[in-house]
Amino acid sequence: MTNLTTRNGAPLSRLTFGTMQFGGTADAVESEAMYDAARAAGINHFDTAVGYTGGAAETILGKLIKDHRDDIYLATKVGYVGGASRENITKHFDTCRKQLDQDTVDLLYMHRFDDETPLEETFSTLAELQSTGAIRHIGVSNYAAWQVMKAQAVAQSLGTQIDAMQPMYSLVKRQTEVEIFPMAQDQGITIIPYSPLGGGLLTGKYAKGGTGRLTDDARYKARYGQSWMHETATALAALSDDIGIDPATLAVRWVLAHPARPLPIISARSVVQLQPSLAASDAELPPDLYAQITALSTAPAPATDRLEEG
């Protein structure tokens, strides 16, 4: 497995902080307060993207890390719109560097798979950025396992490799367990999953009639709109009441506890909202409690047509 470290050689924190809400639902003041809280909790890995909040997320993050850049592992993403061509990657990455006010980043992701651009074009561009020192590591986000393996073969033919990947993973989104986790472990790819709180569903607030992305954003409403997901969230909230641990803490801690050792991305709109997720790094999760939480949702079927022989 690639040894992902900060520029000064420190290992990555078990939690990653995502800046998707910087400059949007979190203004510059609140963003800085969350950044400070994350750093105080030991987080040194920060994730952003060229298009988050129209570029404001990178601009805010760039200012916050400027005075201690070597202590921070900086990851960003390109290619969510416009595809994975050399031209688009170059254009987006130039924008990243301007917004971040940084010449280099530690990890550059392709934000999603592009089936219209040859992988050789995409990964030769990334390999060149890596060889010049503009990026240290290569990542992919929202790729299926078979897409990662195709891309990995191309990357290896170019003398490099995919070092990290960013799938969706939570107690109500477990498909990643079927092929992505085993593939990543086999290939030595660090797993940095997003949405460990299921878009906020697993905080328990929606069971209490709260509002947020799942009520206001059609995409999130569809993503987490199945009744069993809400039943799982309600059951997790009941369990959290019984044992006196916030459901968000349990949800993030459950992701952390997977044997693949993922580094989940946490995020929030405010420090108050962030605190339960930060607490996950110190929360105890004995095997019996892990199993109890796991049983609140249905495990996806293995990737085989011979289930009866398993």
Question: Is-contact 73 139, C-beta < 8 A?
Answer: no
- Give the bridge partners for 170, in sequence order: 173
Q: Does this model's pTM top 0.75? A: yes
* C-alpha span between 152 and 148 (Å, rounded): 6
* 47 backbone dihedrals φ, ψ, rounded to 5°: -115, 135
Cβ(193)–Cβ(167) below 8 Å: yes
- What residue segments make up the domains of the chain, in order of their start? 16-166
Q: Which residues contact 20 (CB under 8 A, 6 or more apart)?
A: 48, 49, 52, 53, 57, 267
Tens-digit pLDDT profile for the chain (310 aa)?
568 999 999 999 999 999 999 999 999 999 999 999 999 999 999 999 999 999 999 999 999 999 999 999 999 999 999 999 999 999 999 999 999 999 999 999 999 999 999 999 999 999 999 999 999 999 999 999 999 999 999 999 999 999 999 999 999 999 999 999 999 999 999 999 999 999 999 998 887 777 778 878 888 888 898 999 999 999 999 999 999 999 999 999 999 999 999 999 999 999 999 999 999 999 899 999 999 999 999 999 888 887 777 6
Give pLDDT, residue 310.
61
Nearby residues of 232 by Cβ (< 8 Å), 6 or more positions away = 171, 172, 202, 296, 297
Class of domain 16-166: alpha beta
Cα 69 to chain centroid distance, Å, stands at: 21
